[in-house]
Chains A and B, each alone.
Chain A
Amino acid sequence: MPQPLQSKEASLFRSLVKFYESKQHKKGLKAADQVLKKYPKHGDTQAMKALILNAQGHGEEAFELAKEALKNDMKSHVCWHVYGLLWRSVKNYEEATKAYKFALKIEPDSQNILRDLAHLQCQIRDYEGYIDSRRKMMNARPQLRQNWTGLAIAYHLSGNYKEAEHILKTYEETLKQTPPKSDLEHSEAVLYRNTIIAESGDTERALEHLESILKNNLDRTAVLELRAKYLLQLGRKEEAEKAYRALLDRNTDYRAYYDGLEQALGLDRTNEASFKRLTELYESYASKSERIDAPRRIPLDFLKGDAFKAAADQYLRRMLNKGVPSTFPNIKALYVDSEKKAIIEELVLGYASEKQMNGSADGKTNGDTSDRFEKSVLYFLAQQYDYVLSRNLEKATEYIDRLLEKDPKSVDYNQIKARIWKHYGDTQKAADTMNHARELDLKDRYINTKCAKYQLRNNENEKALDTMSKFTRNETVGGPLGDLHDMQCMWYLLEDGEAYMRRGKLGLALKRFTAIADIFETWQEDQFDFHSFSLRKGQIRAYVDMVRWEDHLRNHPFFTRAALSAVEIYIRLFDHPDLAKEHPELDKLEPSERKKALKKIQKEQEKARKAEADRRAAAQAKATAKGDDGEAKKPDTDPQGETLLRTKEPLEAALRFLIPLLELSPRNVEGQNLGFQVYLRRRKLLLALKCLLAAIELDSENPKVHGNSVLLRSHLNNLKEPLSPAVADAIKQDFTSPPANADLAALKAFNDDFLKKNSKSPAHLQRGYNVRFHLDPNTKSQNETDLQKLLDLEGTTLQQAAEGIKLLQEWKSDEKKVEAYREAVAKTWPQAAMFQKK
């Protein structure tokens, strides 16, 4: 129980609470100190003081004080509530939930505590608890519709559709009269109820319910789309056709509606018999307006042969005549079909060879001579020969050069030129050309970012940041880079990190990847306010969508990319702990020279630190070092990522990236392979096997899968202590290739078989040589020779050649060998910048 206060202090305490609520922190602290002077052990006051301290940014002090308050008064709900609030402010939702539960036990009627608890339970997806809290809230205030909807959401999210619908229905039935049509909350709530019915699988009833609310619902698009979908699912095709036609009248460029309409009409794209009707259908929509693209483009997906040729001709001429620059990107999806690729190529080459290119089929010329058609055709061809499925870089260069001669100031043309250089492997020229393109339009942020990206691809981090700084808010704490972090500019952080990784600056690379993980954490936390806000707005369907999206948030490609790189770095740090040393190159020097070098380095660091401090001071003087939300920003304590680099437990640190990767993107073979590597090093054989089995299931021919299988078998052969029987049995039953009795010799033979079987695939052979090396280091020179021979193998790509250098480094090959290999690569790919002599 709270300790009693005398009336003077009691009123002081009340004003303290008021001061906190109105954010008058200084006054609040003064009032708190006055109470504490007389009652130094008054828990509630201490707790309130802690809360104010926390709001002022003294987090650690606040926690100390709150703990002391709890010690003084374990039975005060105020103390527990404050403790929960503090945990919540540092985003530790589990601990906060516990504290709130204690507070609620002491004060079961407090709606404030109950509400906070409910939101936390939803945040950590404790649906059982959430249902419970929501029910209590509804019992306390049944007159608020929100409370009913909230309980329904709780049931819905936990998968109990029946109960969720029941709650919504019960509330609706208590309404004396139907709310007016303009009642947005009602409109959303009934539609929400409808989606629940549909999700429970009862489409028939969902349709029936939908028909009853159809007329008055405010979200027209949603009702119409749902109706069409239900009708189609129920096989009521005629009505579905009408519904989809109504939708198409609202938006003629939405592919999903055309798909629905096709199904409703019973048209099958794989069946040539329906081509005629399909074509007619799309023609009828195309004829409605000159401006619609979809019905003109879609038929190209299914038409074949001459019909395709005619349609493609018409489509291409129309687009090229208009000079639509996105024509090729619009078309390129068709190139997976080699027949279509050939037809399009032939058509467009035909346009190029027409005497005077003007695009009209019958060769008439318009009065004003425009070379728009000609330029579009050349632009199309340049992009086409740059595209991966139809690549011919010489031809691409020829076309783009012709265009650049005509119009050297075009941003688009220069951009394509840069991309061609990139595909040649000449990152330097690519970055320079892109920079030239940028200079042609200094106000366009798009080309600016492209330029920065190409500079990063060329490992020019500082230059790229300078480019980006032309469009960032540079008075932010931390300068342009700080702004890019604030604005969650993930593409930049990723590319920056990858560039640092290529340059061997692992600390900075880790720092960027960690920043990505932090941003995803922020996204995860961003939903917190919406557990209450969405209910108040009544936009429940959008809220449920958001909650479900948050559940698989980290399967986003941005996260996957950062995670793959970060885990790889952590594995490297585990294998070579000296990478974390500041100056590994010093170890090679003589002691006396080392001292000198060390001194020099220290001096430089001192200088850099001073410059940094000066810069920061200047920035602080210029602008208030406050973020937009008024919170003071802490300066970065580890700008070079050295703390990250020097972690004692790299494999544990890798788990932050690895676990979401394996859980949410399980179909990423690369992720499974890395997971195997991490778990094997952590001696968690079952988890390693789980990754291996998943990788085999996904792609049993993956070259790394072979290497990992052999690795696991040889690891099992050399175990120091026996496994526990259940683990051993599980491994025995699920891990069969290479066979359990395979000793070293058998493993070698197994690997030789693999090499023989894949004698045409460079990637497989590289892995095989690596396995051979690890099974028997004596084969090193043989491996080196074989690796070099791969360069002559047909189909070897530049990336695979680069992989070879990595292997040579892994084997610690002689520098001469590496150099010879590099020279051989440089001869085959003369433009590739990374293989030129430095």
Chain B
Amino acid sequence: MAEPQPSNVQEGASTPPAPLPTGTAEDRKAAAALSSLDAPSEDTDSPAKKEVDTKALGEAMKQLSVAKGGGEKRKAVKIEAGDVALLVSELELPKLKATELLRAHDGNALEAIRSFIAPAFSSVALRT
């Protein structure tokens, strides 16, 4: 595909478009300013839009907080510290991940290792 044309190019224009301003640094400054602008906009009290109904919002919030809560409980599995250390050193996993892996295999180090080294490609997005 061709690259998109600059915005000042018009099809069929007889004269070539004026060159883009060479001070592209300006554009970059503008972009930087735009992305640092967020602080005030998200923070200051921008006058809330007219259609916002504060009362309804309050109600909705309450309902949300009722709906929240109740997470899954973790399985209680006994995990040997030695196994964790083994996985950390042999598989170069962070401690947290090693523990998780062992927990997923009920603390069985051999099974954990075997599942880790088994090839599995499906989960990764493919670049075609």
A contact set with B: CB distance below 8 Å: 111-112, 115, 138-139, 142-146, 166-167, 170-171, 173-177, 179, 529-530, 532-533, 535-536, 552, 555-557, 628-629, 663-667, 684-687, 689-690, 693-694, 696-698, 724, 726-727, 729-730, 733-734
Contact = CB atoms under 8 A, between A and B. Distances in A.
Contacts of A663: 124
B4 interface: no
A556 B127 CA distance: 8
Contacts, number: 128
A724 B42 contact: no
B34 A533 contact: yes
17 contacts: A112-B43, A142-B57, A145-B52, A174-B59, A175-B53, A176-B52, A179-B49, A530-B35, A532-B38, A535-B42, A665-B127, A684-B92, A686-B91, A686-B117, A687-B92, A689-B117, A724-B86
Contact of B124 (A552, A628, A729): A552
B29 to A, nearest CB: 8
Nearest to B38: A532
B90 A686 contact: yes
A666 B42 contact: no
Given A173-B60, A529-B36, A629-B29, 16 more contacts: A115-B43, A138-B61, A142-B60, A142-B61, A175-B51, A179-B49, A529-B35, A529-B38, A533-B34, A556-B127, A628-B24, A629-B32, A686-B113, A687-B92, A726-B113, A729-B110
A663 B58 CA distance: 45
A536 B37 CA distance: 10
A11 B117 CA distance: 63
Contacts of A115: 42-43
Mostly helix, strand, loop or mixed at chain A's interface? helix
A727 B113 contact: yes
B73 interface: no
Contact of A174 (B32, B57, B119, B121): B57
B14 to A, nearest CB: 21
A665 B128 CA distance: 12
Contacts of B52: 143, 145, 174-176
A694 B38 contact: no
Given A146-B42, A536-B38, A664-B124, A697 B61 contact: no
Contacts of A684: 90-92
A712 B127 CA distance: 31
Contacts of A142: 57-58, 60-61
A171 B34 CA distance: 27
Interface string B100-128: 00000000011001101111010011110
Provide the main secondary structure of the chain B interface.
Answer: helix
Contacts of A730: 110, 113-114, 117
A175 B50 CA distance: 10
A555 B127 contact: yes
A624 to B, nearest CB: 12
Contact of B28 (A111, A628, A696, A724): A628
B57 A143 contact: yes
A630 B28 CA distance: 11
A402 B117 CA distance: 58
B101 to A, nearest CB: 12
Contact of A552 (B48, B109, B125): B125
A111 B43 CA distance: 8
B54 to A, nearest CB: 6
Nearest to A729: B110
A171 B60 contact: yes
B109 A726 contact: yes
B119 A694 contact: yes
A146 B25 CA distance: 31
B41 interface: yes
B96 interface: no
A177 B49 CA distance: 12
Contacts of B110: 726, 729-730
A177 B117 contact: no
B103 to A, nearest CB: 16
A177 B51 contact: yes
Contacts of B90: 684-687, 727
Q: Which of B53, B59, B64, B92 has the most CB of A within 10 A?
A: B64
A687 B91 contact: yes
A324 to B, nearest CB: 14
A684 B86 CA distance: 11
* Residue picked from A144, A555, A663, A733, most chain B C-beta under 10 Å: A144
A170 B127 contact: no
A689 to B, nearest CB: 6
Nearest to A735: B117
A144 B48 contact: yes
A693 B119 contact: yes
Given A179-B51, A628-B25, A686-B90, A166 B67 contact: yes
Nearest to A666: B121
B41 A536 contact: yes
Nearest to B124: A666
A143 B61 CA distance: 11
A241 B7 CA distance: 34
Contacts of A145: 49, 52
B49 to A, nearest CB: 8
A529 B35 CA distance: 6
Contact of A170 (B32, B63, B117): B63
Contacts of B61: 138-139, 142
B16 to A, nearest CB: 13
A173 B57 CA distance: 9
Contacts of B118: 693, 734
B127 A557 contact: yes
A529 B83 CA distance: 41
Contact of A690 (B46, B59, B116): B116
Contacts of A112: 39, 43
Contacts of A687: 90-92, 117
